[in-house]
Structure 1
């Protein structure tokens, strides 16, 4: 009797360098499956002390995920297979499907977050009870978890020692070739229920984002859920493996942008100030090891410099947060963070939070970034740091609220990187140094011509760069001359802008 396996796709929506797919493809028959789990979407409780409700997945990531699933299905169909879409908890779906298709084993990638690990454990237990075996693999990071110099439970909680150890001691495994995909189980096999082979419909953007549940302003509007990329954004970010590999080639080889990455990475406008790989990395359409191998080839063929090193450095930052959340679990998301701080009295002011989220703080650099996030689901690294600092250090609002808002909005959301960076800025994460940003000074440094601010705040066009960054300095006559009235056309600042960067907590 031919052996049949299931490969359970999660956040590894690719066929290249996919160990779970490669292992499952050793079987005679293969059933690729993706589960749309309802408890992972929609409006939900954050959990833990001082919980609040928020929306897990907003329209930007929902659109990107649907496109990625469509692209994976298309690639598998081209290979003579298919991607089955099922709705429900994997612990319920996979044992039933394995029984209906006569599958003996299920292969999948482990993920580091506590919710993801709980889903894995529940699913493995259900499959074991159903008499099915599982094969678990690790494919989330540049460095394999099994290759770390210490067990992940003992890695350093500060980035630099971690980076130094892995750079010196940990080799990067070679990528796996795209496997030859076996056929689906035969519909006329007496041990196979033909209904098990129904591919199912791709989920809608609305269903991935939780349908019509409330949670974040305007995100339950069907028109918002169906909207395509905003043409003001830095990149349209089409989902899928082919789009990921196209971007990798365009950034490194066609545009030759990597040679200047270290100098341009703090940019704010345009597609090529940074790699923009993060949406594909975080949805698993692109392997970090594939990026590393392309960078190595670029260094051999073009140039090896600080910029090529720095891209790999950023991949190790990503690794660091993946291993940190694996090590610390739920404490990673607690109000006091990894440092278990109890001396911070986080406040909750819904009006102030909504002004921040809507880009109506009256501080143009903050507002421009928040409007870009709302419209496109993406922000530069510089922008993320500044708006996070403003919310936590200037307004004193619970960092988890901001991180949860990013979870809703970001097209490239990853739990480890998102919450790790927010905690870092808020002073409860992996570094004890102050991370309060002087937002006005940052604006003048990184947007000296106010091109970014006026791109997203067109009501400030026509002002000098200094006026655009500090419109509250305009006299009544200057406001009249420029046709802008503070408090009507653009908000007055909600704090004294000269105090930005003074950490109140």
Structure 2
């Protein structure tokens, strides 16, 4: 009897609990990844659920995953099909007794799980929480309903009481573990996109994959020591080094939050520890918090009144939406950020907060369509962070101050000479 590792948003070999546990079990270990056509179809808002930028990054990621697994003598079966159409056949063909995978809780992922488990009763499913810095079993709250409504309370409690778990790795399997694998990675054109060149002005010129993530950590931390000034530069807008840019690899699980945490700790021991090095960990804790918020509130994070049930008079104007996404509003700073996003699939954190505040607070337009647009186009889309940030910015989430940005003032503070706007407002 053999083991199947079903890869989802955990597209790495190092510090992957499902893979590590599968490799400890007797029998062969085989990997599988499905490019689910539903992820590339049009949504009710008439744009694709996954646009070309993230699709390209994902293809690069799977290519590295396949290669890295092969080096451990583990085969990765790859399909452009729904998991519901593939898993049962693979389980039968390869005499699988246990399916190891990452535990999910948002509805689209759990619906797929239910469909598969209803189909297949012959195997055991073992699912592991593997997306967190603070593991769900370790956080100092009796149950999820006790999760603090304010991030600072969550952060302080966890920092005081939770030890970050160590990372894990796997040894190579014997050559007998390899199977005859005739599957192949689809091309961008198979997913419905034309090949494209990356915009020369992008602040995210990186490729997908675990090796690329580790290379970026090595460069940003140890080679350039940019980590030592992270807090001072993280609100930048131009160039690839104003922030760590690790979000895209974190989003599809090419690297784990724990790996980054322990690399920061290594840096603090070998180079220096300061407020800037801590601030990267601070951002990882925010990421955790949004995951716990989505776990606590479920589908409320996708609903117009959010987790607070705040009632606003939300509108939706198609013309206003088209102007927002094409960078044709009355705010040049918003326009520059939205054009950067459309051309590169990436935007700074400072930009995201401003364009969200403009859409939700100034225009008072339905934040959900804007969140769905971000889901489509962002290279670093993560369901929990994306919707957590949108409900926060729309005043229906975890912002105790319900702030609204003064966009002209923000432009003066962060782009005083207009250099960023000059790049994109040609």
State the TM bucket, normalised to the shorter chain: over 0.9
Q: Return 344-353 or 116-125, whichever deviates more.
A: 116-125
Unpaired segments of 5 or more residues in structure 1? Answer: 46-51, 188-196, 212-221, 459-505
Match of residue 168 from structure 2? 176
Question: Among residues 288, 302, 307, which one is paired with 1:319 in the alignment?
Answer: 288
Matching of residues 241-256 of structure 1 within 5 Å: 241-256=210-225
The CA deviation at 1:110 is: 1.0
CA, structure 1 residues 371+95, in 2 after alignment: closer, same or farther (shift >3 Å)?
same
- Give the corresponding residue for 2:402: 434
1:450 to 400, 418, 421: 418
2:158 is the alignment partner of 1:160: no
Secondary structure of 1:17 counterpart: coil
Structure 2 unaligned runs (5+)?
A: none
* TM-score, normalised with respect to structure 2: 0.96
Q: Is the 8 A contact 1:34 1:83 kept in 2?
A: yes
Shift of 1:184: 6.5
Report how far residue 31 of structure 1 moved: 1.3
SS of equivalent to 2:399: coil
8 Å CA contact retained: 1:392, 1:426: yes
Aligned-partner SS, 1:34: strand
Structure 2 CA distance for aligned equivalents of residues 12 and 124 of structure 1: 20
2:40 matches 1:41: yes
Shift of residue 178 of structure 1? 3.4
Change over 3 Å in CA distance of 1:182–1:386 after alignment to 2: farther
User: Residue 136 of structure 1 corresponds to which residue in structure 2?
Assistant: 127
2:181 to 193, 198, 221: 198
1:29 alignment counterpart: 28
Matched, 1:390 2:358: yes
Residue aligning to 1:238: 207
Q: Distance in 1 between matches of 2:66 and 2:322?
A: 39
- Alpha-carbon distance in 1 for matches of 2:130, 2:389: 22
CA distance in 2, matches of 1:365, 1:178: 47
- CA distance in 2 between counterparts of 1:173 and 1:185 reads 29
In the alignment, what sits opposite 2:109? 116
Cα deviation code 1:67-115 (max 9, x no counterpart):
1011111112233332111233323321221111111111001123221
User: Residue 59 of structure 1 aligns with which residue?
Assistant: 52
Give 1:204 shift.
2.5
Q: Give 1:125 deviation, angstroms.
A: 3.7
| Structure 1 residue 179, shift from structure 2 partner | 3.4
- CA change 1:79–1:238 in 2 (3 A) is same
Kept in 2, the 8 Å contact 1:25–1:182? The answer is no
Q: Which of 236, 245, 255 in structure 2 is aligned with 1:267?
A: 236
Find 2:313's aligned residue among 331, 341, 345.
345
Question: Structure 1 residue 236: deviation in Å?
Answer: 1.2
Deviations 1:404-423 (A, max 9, x none): 11011100000110111111
Structure 1 residues 435, 184: closer, same or farther in 2, change over 3 A? farther
Who is 1:93 aligned against?
A: 86
Distance in 2 (alpha carbons) for counterparts of 1:395 and 1:265? 27
2:360·2:366 contact (CA, 8 Å) conserved in 1? yes
Superposed CA RMSD in Å reads 1.6
Task: Give the drift of 1:361.
Answer: 1.1
Q: Counterparts of 1:374 and 1:395 in 2: how far apart (Å)?
A: 20
Partner of 1:470: none
Query: Which residue number in structure 2 is paired with residue 424 of structure 1?
Result: 392
Q: Max radius of gyration: which structure?
A: 1
Task: Give the whole-Å Cα distance in 1 for the aligned partners of 2:173 and 2:417.
Answer: 53
TM-score (structure 1 length as normaliser): 0.81
- Aligned equivalents of 1:186, 1:456: Cα separation in 2: 49
Alignment of 1:195-234 (within 5 A): 197-208=180-191, 211=192, 222-223=193-194, 226-234=195-203
CA contact (8 A) 1:251 1:272 kept: yes
Number of equivalenced pairs: 424
